[in-house]
Every structure is written in structure tokens, then in C-alpha cells.
Structure 1
């Protein structure tokens, strides 16, 4: 769940131009590395033809830095950053953002805190100053913190009857016992009431620092101006973060199936096992293997077997999830209670078949063609482009990755995907099944 602060004045002023802005394919590779006078780095795609600026940024250290016994601190801190800062209380901060058509949001995930700023170029001074205040002088006043706490608790209560959330929490709790990944990012009904202001200020002071910052910018701003802005916005942050080490881990209980009885219309199936790290040379072949198995939507093996041939589900999918401390292969579906066993069996069968025999030459070529051609969909808004700039830095893939990426895919051979299919899919997966299951529940419902 993400708490967003949207300026409707921004949407009106932009008149839709921002949402549909995308540089030409050639321009997407024209990334400038900008280093401020104070040594802060950002990657920039300049586009002066549209008077808009999008900035995305990331700080390493998200929910994995929550205090022991208090999951939800990172989530609450991120949600509170724009609820008043400096001399502006929450109402005054939001009014200033609205008056200047500034859209600002923050969100916490397992491994990072991310933020986003969208502003018209003639209002950039106001937008960047609001961002500076939110990052360096958050207030965490009682009223907005209690309001956000109430929102979080309401959402958590709803999740106790959500089969998707029940299954997800059970999967992570089982796969990563005694590890930060076992805990839900948005906290629990027990932990959220115990979070105090010192927890929020402590998280921000330890996590939001210049040494773990990545910045991507797209729009009507030049490199010199951006260099000045970087120091103005981020320069007052601590030079060094104080992050707790997160141990590397592999999912446990693979090969098991856990069931939770819940009276809902459809049974929810989730599964996951070990994946391949993002910097591993086998990641691109694994990306192709996953596309063939369940990442290819209407063309995947799982879609063909589970939906097309048997009509067991509307959607069935798989994906790779490389985290800082674990690389995962994940997936899921929803189906009728009396068909859950059949759906799980088909998923297991297709995983095993692909692991043993690998893809066909035809599957490989079609997947490569699709993955190369569809890459441009990641760049159809300036916010997406800025996010990609940040992700490339987080993944340490190099500033020229856009230029190299399709070549890396094209270079993958049939022998590569057969070998990597065995590596990726032979380790087994952990299933969670939530709904009117056909066998006795072997796990308790909970969060």
C-alpha cells in the first residue's frame, strides 16, 4: 500500500501532457551523469520541449530496517514525510503544494524508501523546496501521525479477511523465519499501535542519507541547474547512513503446500522459491525462462494450460523478484475451490516439465522478440523513465544498459535457457492456498 499526495492543480496545469510525454527511442539512451558541486550524483534525461520535471529517488533501507518487534515503522515514516515539514504543518504543506501544482509522494518497500516529485518547470523552485523540507525537516506531528496510524490499522483489519493478504503473509512468514523479510511491510495489528514518534525520527535519521541515495530526473532542466538543485534538496542530509546488516537468505519450506480455510468465492494460490540475483550472468536467460513459463501473459505455458485449455482461472502468472538479501521466483492464481488441487498440480507439472526439458527453439525466439519489442513500454511516461534511471543505479547495471539490454537478450541461446531453466526451477516452490480448500487446513489464518 502506498500513501500518495496528488496535486490536482498539477494535473489541470499539465493538461494531460505529462502523462503522455515520452522521449523518442533515441532520446531514451541519452542519459547524462550529473554530479553536483557537493558530490551528489543523478542521472538525467533532458527534454526541454515539455515544461515538466519528474524526479524519482531511492534510499537503500526500507522495512528491513524496522526496529525489532515494530514492523511498519518505515511504512508509517514514508507516509508521514509530506504531512508537515519545517515551519509548515500538514495543512499548510499541502496547501503550498496545491497552490504550486506540486505532486509529491513517498513509499517504503522491503529494501528501500522511494520518492517521487512531479512539477511544472516554472514552479520547480517551490517543488524542490517542499521536497527539501520533507526529507530534511519532517515534523511527524501528532495529528497526521495518528490519522495515518488509523488508516494503517483499518487496512490491516481488512487484510485479515483478504485471501491474497493472508496467503502472502503466510508465504513470507514461512519462507523467511527469523528474518526481516518474514515481517509485513505495513506492520501488524499488534505493532502499529506501539510505534511512537522517536521510532519515525530514528528511522529517518538512520536511513535517509547521501551515501545510499540514487536519483533519476527527466524533463525541462539542464545539467548545471540540476547540480545546484541536488545540493539544495539533498545536501543537508547526513553523509552516511546507519543501516543494520540484513543477512542473505534463501526461502525455506520449498516443496510444501500450506492451506488456510476461508469462506470466500475463489481460492487464492501463491507460490515461490529461489530465483537468480539481478547481477548474476544467468539473470537474462532466467528472465526469458520466466516469460515462457508464466510471465508472458497470453502466451505463457501456465496461461495456456491453466486457463486456455481448462478454464480454471482468469489469470495465472509468475515473475522474478530479486531483493537485496534474496532472489526469488514467484507466482500465483485464483480459481474455484473444487479446482484448486487441479490448478496447483498443473503449475507443479509445468514447472517440472520446463525444468527437465527446457524451452523449445520457437518459444525462445518468440520470447526474445516480445521482450525486445515491449521494452519501450517502460518509457511511455516521464515518471516511468525517471524510475528506470533510478532502478538502473540501484541494480548497478551501468548507464549504458538501455543500449546493451536488447543485445543481451538476443545473445541468449537455446542451450543457455535449458541450463538456466534447470537452475531456476529445480529447487522447488512453497505453495500457500487460501479459501475453501479441499483438504484440512495445515496453517492458521493470521497476520
Structure 2
């Protein structure tokens, strides 16, 4: 398939406008005529949390099959139509949502949105396509059994959310994927792909009038939203415990975590700045300096904030020699508590804010990035003006705000820790 060049629109993403089509389809729209390109991102509420408890992997498999034949076109014919117009269409599934993206030249917009309509409304789920995707998925899962990073992550979620939907692997297991039927996929499609639960963002050389017609064409035909299984709020469990996934590797992979703060929480921005200081700032973060630069314990170490619909986690990662795992964990825990007790310096806080403000625009250098950021903001319910407000929110963070965020996240210093490897001295 020929790639479509995707460059930054001249129009700022802060000028996104809310649009409602004649058929009632809502979207956020950024019009830009820099290149004859349209980028679309869309997200439907409900992802792998809607999988049957005994059959994880259905939503993920659904996402992989939506473009494997639709309407009158089998998989090969559908992919040929995409390739003939250099249309890029993809789907993905996560814990809380199933979504995708479309990228096309303006002159092929009618064809692109028609193929999107077919994929969303009339997927075929042909048995040969199901078996091919099943085989690919199972092969990937077998390979991952020897990947310490994957196995540590899987164990972390199993322990951290035991008994909850977030404990189940999004891609399923070898055993569960083997049992997924066409009926399972049809039922999941009926539950998730509904117009009442979709968020849409469109960026590119298309005016509101024409876009409205195309949105009605692709999304207007979808059924109204039915009910989803409720996902109960959950806190990270098993704090203060360490778990080992036994793998014969010379270097252990470590995953660690503690409470987080949701993107929808008023305290998120201070927590975001705090995380940058702790482990999100790449070469400047405290963990990078203490773990790698001063002690040479690891090549990389970092943290990030993970925000789900029903949970929030501060998530960390590193990898070190088996015999240095305990030392690395002690340094990480010690630096967290030092940051909680002493806080950052005023200069450290200002440098973190300057970086986060100055680098924000780098996330909007392509139409596709803008569309995906807008649709995520819409999905989180943060408001169409969030991009315009965000830097002011960062600039307003004080040392007191950082202290409050540290109290919420670091609490008593207990972490859930998973080590994949054969660490010594635990």
C-alpha cells in the first residue's frame, strides 16, 4: 500500500469546532487545506471489559476482523479496494474502548467513508478470516510466553486487579482465543459498535457541509447504543507485595505501581507534573539520574500515569541484572519517599513545567496525531477547549499542589512489584 504523507495542518487544533450532522452524528472538526488529506479517529465506549469472563480476547479479535471483509467484499477484495486508493484503515481494542482511524486523500473521501461504513456496519466474519486471525493471535501469545516484559505486565494486572475485568488480558489467552466463535464476535459487534457511544474527530481539507454528509454515511447507519456491562471502580490491590515470574533470563524485567490519579480528576495535572519529575522526564527525571546515571543499575527506567475508566495507576518499569534487583527497587522506593517528604525544589518544578509546556505542541505535528488527541479528549469528557487550556493548567501548578499529589500517589510508600526473571536476594 502506498503511504500517504501526513503533515501538520496550518490550523491550530485549538480551533476545533463541534459539528452535528443532519442525521445527528456528532464530531469535532479541524479544517485545514495545507494538504488534500483527511484524518479521522473514532472511539466506541466499551472494550475488553465487555469480554465474557471466561473468554477474554473477543473484543480484540473483533477489532482485528472488522477490515477482514465487509459487505459484498471478502478479505482480499476489501484490502484491494483500500490499496487501490491508498486508503489507510485500522482498528484497535483496549480495556475501555474499541476504535480506529481512517486516512485518505480528499479525492478518495467518498470511497474511504463507504469502506469505513461497510467495516463498521457490515463486517462479514467469514470463517476463513476468523481462523487466520485466531492462528495469528495464538502464535503471538505463544511467543509472548518467553517475553519477560509481557509476562511481567500480565502478572502485574492479574495481581493488581484480581477478580476485576482489568485483570484479564486484552488479547486473551491461548485457551480462550481457541474457543471464540463467530457468534461471540457477532454479539460483541452488536454490543459495542453503536452510534450513541462513539466519539469522532476529523482533521483535514474538508468543510463542515461535506463532512456532515460523509459522517452520516459512515456512522449514521449504526444502531443506537444498547446497554453495556457495568465496570465497577477498583483500586490497585496487593500493594506492598512482590511477585516473581520465573524466566531463565540474565536480566530481570521489573514492573511496579502504586495508586494513580485519573485524567478526569481535578488533581491530574499536578500529578502529571509530579510524574515528570519522578520518572516521566526521560534524561532529567530523578529515577533516571539515581538508577542509571549515578549507579548504573539499568539502561532505562521511568514512570507514567495510566488512566482507565474505572481505575488509575502510577506505573513504572525498569530492567536490571538479577543480582541487582533488590538494590534497584530500594533506590526507586527511596527516591519516591524522598520526593514525598521533601518535595521538589522551586527550580526543579519550574523546569518541569517549562518542558511540559514547551513540548506540548510537538504532539500535534500531523493530522493523525491531532485527530487521535482530540478523540481521546472527547472520550474523557474534558471539553473541546482542553488543548487551549492545558498549558495554563500546567503553569498554575504550585509546590503545594505537588505535595498533595504526592500524598495521594505515594501514600505509605507501598508498591505492587512484579519481577520477570530469576532475581536473587529478594
Give the corresponding residue for 2:419: 433
In the aligned structure 2, how far is the partner of 1:23 from the partner of 1:55? 14
Which secondary structure does the structure 1 equivalent of 2:40 belong to?
strand
Contact 1:208 1:241 in 2 (8 A): no
Contact 2:252 2:419 in 1 (8 A): yes
| Superposition deviation, residue 261 in structure 1 | 2.4
In the aligned structure 2, how far is the partner of 1:369 from the partner of 1:68? 45
Q: How many residue pairs align between the two structures?
A: 425
User: In the TM superposition, what whole-angstrom CA distance separates every residue of 1:220-272 from its partner, at most 9, and x where no partner exists?
Assistant: 11111111111110111111132110110001100111112211131100011
Give the corresponding residue for 2:318: 333
In the aligned structure 1, how far is the partner of 2:425 from the partner of 2:138? 32
Give the corresponding residue for 1:71: 56
Contact 1:34 1:226 in 2 (8 A): no
| Superposition deviation, residue 166 in structure 1 | 1.2
Matched, 1:23 2:4: no
Contact 2:138 2:177 in 1 (8 A): yes
- Residue from 124, 141, 154 that aligns with 1:139: 124
In the aligned structure 1, how far is the partner of 2:372 from the partner of 2:12? 16
Runs ≥4 in structure 1, deviation > 6 angstroms? none
Matched, 1:305 2:305: no
Matched, 1:221 2:239: no
Contact 1:277 1:322 in 2 (8 A): yes
Matched, 1:47 2:26: no
- Residue from 408, 413, 418 that aligns with 2:398: 413
In the aligned structure 2, how far is the partner of 1:265 from the partner of 1:124? 52
- The answer for unaligned runs of 5 or more in structure 2 is none
Which secondary structure does the structure 2 equivalent of 1:186 belong to?
coil
Which secondary structure does the structure 2 equivalent of 1:423 belong to?
helix
Contact 1:356 1:422 in 2 (8 A): no
In the aligned structure 2, how far is the partner of 1:55 from the partner of 1:116? 5
Which secondary structure does the structure 1 equivalent of 2:60 belong to?
helix
Matched, 1:180 2:165: yes
In the aligned structure 2, how far is the partner of 1:434 from the partner of 1:279? 32
In the aligned structure 2, how far is the partner of 1:175 from the partner of 1:325? 13
User: In the TM superposition, what whole-angstrom CA distance separates every residue of 1:322-373 from its partner, at most 9, and x where no partner exists?
Assistant: 1001011101101111111111111111111112222111111000000000
Matched, 1:166 2:151: yes
| Superposition deviation, residue 439 in structure 1 | 4.5
| Superposition deviation, residue 49 in structure 1 | 2.2
Which secondary structure does the structure 2 equivalent of 1:268 belong to?
strand
In the aligned structure 1, how far is the partner of 2:346 from the partner of 2:47? 41
Contact 2:33 2:205 in 1 (8 A): yes
Q: Residues 19-418 of structure 1 correspond to what in structure 2 (within 5 A)?
A: 21-24=7-10, 27-418=12-403
Contact 1:260 1:437 in 2 (8 A): no
Which secondary structure does the structure 2 equivalent of 1:22 belong to?
coil
Contact 1:210 1:241 in 2 (8 A): no
Contact 1:52 1:219 in 2 (8 A): yes
| Superposition deviation, residue 394 in structure 1 | 0.8
In the aligned structure 1, how far is the partner of 2:226 from the partner of 2:91? 18
Contact 2:262 2:311 in 1 (8 A): yes
User: In the TM superposition, what whole-angstrom CA distance separates every residue of 1:356-392 from its partner, at most 9, and x where no partner exists?
Assistant: 2221111110000000001011101111000011011
Structure 1 length normalisation: TM-score?
A: 0.93
Give the corresponding residue for 1:444: none
Give the corresponding residue for 1:5: none
Contact 1:275 1:424 in 2 (8 A): yes
After superposition, the CA RMSD in angstroms is 1.1
Contact 2:45 2:192 in 1 (8 A): yes
| Superposition deviation, residue 189 in structure 1 | 1.1
Structure 2 length normalisation: TM-score?
A: 0.98
| Superposition deviation, residue 68 in structure 1 | 2.2
In the aligned structure 2, how far is the partner of 1:28 from the partner of 1:200? 36
